[in-house]
A and B are shown apart, each in its own frame.
Chain A
Amino acid sequence: MTARAVVTGIGVMSPNSPGGFGAADYWTATCGGQSGIGRVTRFDPRRYPARLAGEVRGFSAEEHLPGRLIPQTDRMTQLALVTADHALADAGVSTPEMPEFGMGVVTASSCGGFEFGQGELQNLWSKGGQYVSAYQAFAWFYAVNTGQISIRHGMRGPSGVLVSDQAGGLDAIAHACRLVRGGSDLILSGGVDASICPWGWVAHLASGRLSTSERPDRAYLPFDADAAGHVPGEGGALLIIEDSGAARRRGADRVYGEISGYGSTFDPRPGSGRSPALGKAIEIALEGAGLSPGEIDVVFADAAAVPELDRVEAAAITSVFGPRGVPVTAPKTMTGRLGSGAAPLDVAAAFLSMRSGLIPPTTNVTLSPDYDIDLVTTRPRRASVHAAVVLARGHGGFNSAIVLRSIDWN
């Protein structure tokens, strides 16, 4: 019997939810077209060309985490720890009652703890090495969310971190499924990123892909003729992924669906003349899931909002599914691009679509006539969703696609 990887819990941290967390609030806000994008408040953005971000507002780490964890964690880790608590609670998992080596943690990270790291670099260069926090040793590090979640919940099984920019969010979930197929009972997986601090901002600016618009409703317009870059955001989602047999044995009473296929490819070298490989990633994922393109009910797009990249993505979707062959959406127009947190949040949204029968909208966008895709804009669309594809791309050529299916559990 092949082990199936099912999702039993979802934790969400999103700029468009009040206070940040809560899958139900996120879903209400997202289907209602509520945006979390606004002027940067975590530092003064006046001297920078890009000034908008999707910030998680009203989140207080002290309210949710023990005092010991505060001085040793970056904001992204504080957000991730609370998201993990929510995912476990949603799944009805009590980790102290489970075998500790049967549970692991696999997260993705695109930046690490930049805000913490910036503070310690400032201490180093303005005051001296003796002023650098001992916790800098790990607080900045890509793997720190995985490590802190693992320690907090005693999840000591196979664990790791994937670093491939935005694609990493799917790569981590795929690796979690691999571990489940390899015999682990439960893996907590996904990504939560946050790097809205001057150091992180300069790194984002270096990509050349940030929108410089100051209008929250016009700054991030994927697949629109006015697309001119994206708005970065903070947040993401974490999922509880279990072996279906193990989930049955512990009495899980609810399952969102299963992760049934995954494909990743790397683009050819620029200038090689060979075509980009996103379409191939979708084909590999569909083949792994044993589904034909016609069986997919919605595609959650990567939605770069850089014209050339939008063109590549629209072409990939059209080549696999046919012209206007499947509804496409990108609710990240309401959150900004969340780095490695973006695709896990889209995976959560896809499962919530299955449950609610609603495809959330790509707000603010008017589809450019250059793209022959069926983009859901303005309002959510009623649809019966049983299978979904989520796409994510990372800077430098990473492409990942994942196939999700509903499951009849009870």
Chain B
Amino acid sequence: MAYMEFTIRDLRRIMHESAGEGDGGDVEIATMDTEFTQLGYESLALLETGSRIEREFGIRLDDSDLFDSPTPRALIEAVNAQLTLRQAA
């Protein structure tokens, strides 16, 4: 099975689908370390995003994965950590 990686492009697409375009700037390389709240995404937007990531990538995210990851970089790392666990299993 090919190694799966969750990228900034995946995150941007899923956030657009689930919560719309942010009103404080888009999710992209330049905003990897900008907090989601600054980008205009509140907790429900993250919850909805998390649920779509789980469905699409077949992983489980804890609330702590979502809410302790205030930036795109942290969330991408948390998702990839789960993907690595799943693929190692």
Which residues of A are at the interface with B, using a C-beta cutoff of 8 A? 66-72, 130-131, 133-135, 137
Q: How large is the interface on B (under 10, 10 to 19, 20 to 34, 35 or more residues)?
A: 10 to 19
Contact across chains for B54 and A67 when beta carbons are under 8 A apart: no
Q: List the A side residues contacting B35 at CB < 8 Å.
A: none
Q: List the A side residues contacting B55 at CB < 8 Å.
A: 130-131
- Can you sample 26 A-B contacts with CB below 8 Å? A66-B20, A66-B21, A67-B16, A67-B21, A67-B23, A68-B19, A68-B22, A68-B23, A68-B40, A68-B41, A68-B45, A70-B20, A71-B19, A72-B19, A72-B20, A72-B44, A130-B51, A130-B54, A133-B48, A134-B44, A134-B45, A134-B47, A134-B48, A135-B44, A135-B48, A137-B44
Is B80 positioned at the interface, with any CB of A under 8 Å from its CB? no
Contact across chains for A67 and B47 when beta carbons are under 8 A apart: no
Q: List the A side residues contacting B18 at CB < 8 Å.
A: 71, 133
- Quick one: CB contact mask for B21-60 with A, threshold 8 Å, 1 for yes? 1110000000000000000110011011001001100000
Report the Cα distance A409→B60, complex, angstroms: 63
Which residues of B are at the interface with A, using a C-beta cutoff of 8 A? 16-23, 40-41, 44-45, 47-48, 51, 54-55
Contact across chains for B47 and A68 when beta carbons are under 8 A apart: no
What is the minimal beta-carbon distance from A179 to any residue of chain B, in angstroms? 27
Of chain B, the residue at the smallest CB distance from A137 is B44
Q: Given A134-B44, A135-B44, is A69 in contact with B51 using a C-beta cutoff of 8 Å?
A: no
Report the Cα distance A71→B51, complex, angstroms: 14
What is the minimal beta-carbon distance from B28 to any residue of chain A, in angstroms? 15
Q: List the B side residues contacting A68 at CB < 8 Å.
A: 19-23, 40-41, 45
Of chain A, the residue at the smallest CB distance from B41 is A68
Contact across chains for B44 and A66 when beta carbons are under 8 A apart: no
Of chain A, the residue at the smallest CB distance from B19 is A71
Report the Cα distance A131→B54, complex, angstroms: 10
Beyond A67-B23, A68-B20, A72-B20: 8 further Cβ-contacts under 8 Å?
A: A68-B21, A68-B45, A69-B20, A71-B18, A71-B48, A130-B55, A134-B44, A137-B44
Q: List the B side residues contacting A66 at CB < 8 Å.
A: 20-21, 23
Q: List the A side residues contacting B51 at CB < 8 Å.
A: 130, 134
Q: List the A side residues contacting B41 at CB < 8 Å.
A: 68
Of chain B, the residue at the smallest CB distance from A73 is B20
What is the minimal beta-carbon distance from B32 to any residue of chain A, in angstroms? 20
Report the Cα distance A378→B60, complex, angstroms: 64
